Amino acid sequence: MELRPLGATGLQVSPLGLGTVKFGRNQGVKYPRPFELPSDREALDLLELAWDLGINLLDTAPAYGVSEERLGRLLRRCRRDWVIVTKVGEEFIDQEGHDGVSRFDFSAAATRASVERSLRRLGVETLDAVLIHSSGDDLAILEREDVLPTLLELQQAGWVRAVGLSGKTVAGGLRAVECCDLAMVTYNPRQREELPVIRAARAAGKGVLIKKGLLGGHLDRVTAADDADPVLAALRLIYAEPGASSVLVGTLNPAHLRANAAAVEQVCDEHRLATAEAPRQWL
């Protein structure tokens, strides 16, 4: 896959990223079918396959159960030039350290502790990107809590390369475009409300990561055409927007990962061809 700039962060990312929530959490999730967490061997094989397919972007979070911890351990056996996105603000653990109940904390102390822990877990000296994992009240989190100022301080100190918001509202996404390096937004054939955020980020030179691009496994027919491929239709919608840097998709199925990668390459090739031929239409 041809890498793309993630806004002005200096990071180059594949147009498809691998979400790793399924590496560490199978409780309290909204996937269509239950699943078991993969073994280390299965997860490592999936990471190797992702790299072989041209994927260099991984998405994790403390709210993904033991995903961060496992990912750090696995990447010591799969050393590549990965770009890793993690988050702060939400935890999902019980008293025994297992999956439990979501808790949000946007204080300066919790933010710093979360970043320090992510550095240790992932085994890196600098985190590529840290997003604020919103509870839904995006504007209040960005404007009234200490999480953003703290992340910006840690960025200045060299602990973090890029800062952003994984938000839930258009207003929050637009504010993130103003005060952060990137935004993670929901955008798919059934949820298009955050399109203004993608376009504002494009105009401002900020990065955009797409979550729920394939509706978290709930994608079905998205057009009226009998022969429509819903995955291709969703990806065509996403990549019609030049502001979309990458779409994050989580899977434990190697066949699904290969199919998603092939679909992304097909859509990106279509876009490149259309862009190359566009000037000829005016001759």
Residue 64 known to be catalytic = yes
CA angle 71, 72, 73 (to 5 degrees): 90
Catalytic residue of the set 31, 64, 187, 239: 64
Q: What's at 79, amino acid-wise?
A: R
CATH number of 12-273: 3.20.20.100
The one-digit pLDDT tens for each residue of the chain (283 residues) are: 899 999 999 999 999 999 999 999 888 787 778 889 999 999 999 999 999 999 999 999 999 999 999 999 999 998 899 999 999 999 987 545 554 678 999 999 999 999 999 999 999 999 999 999 999 999 999 999 999 999 999 999 999 999 999 999 999 999 999 999 999 999 999 999 999 999 999 999 999 999 999 987 666 645 445 457 899 999 999 999 999 999 999 999 999 999 999 999 999 999 888 777 655 544 3
Q: Please tell me the predicted confidence (pLDDT) of residue 220.
A: 60
Can you give the residue ranges of every domain in the chain?
A: 12-273
* Nearest-angstrom CA–CA distance, 262 and 260: 5
- The DSSP output letter for 193 is T
- Assessment of whether the complete model's pTM goes beyond 0.95: no
Q: Please tell me the predicted confidence (pLDDT) of residue 79.
A: 84
CA angle 115, 118, 119 (to 5 degrees): 90
Q: Please tell me the predicted confidence (pLDDT) of residue 279.
A: 57
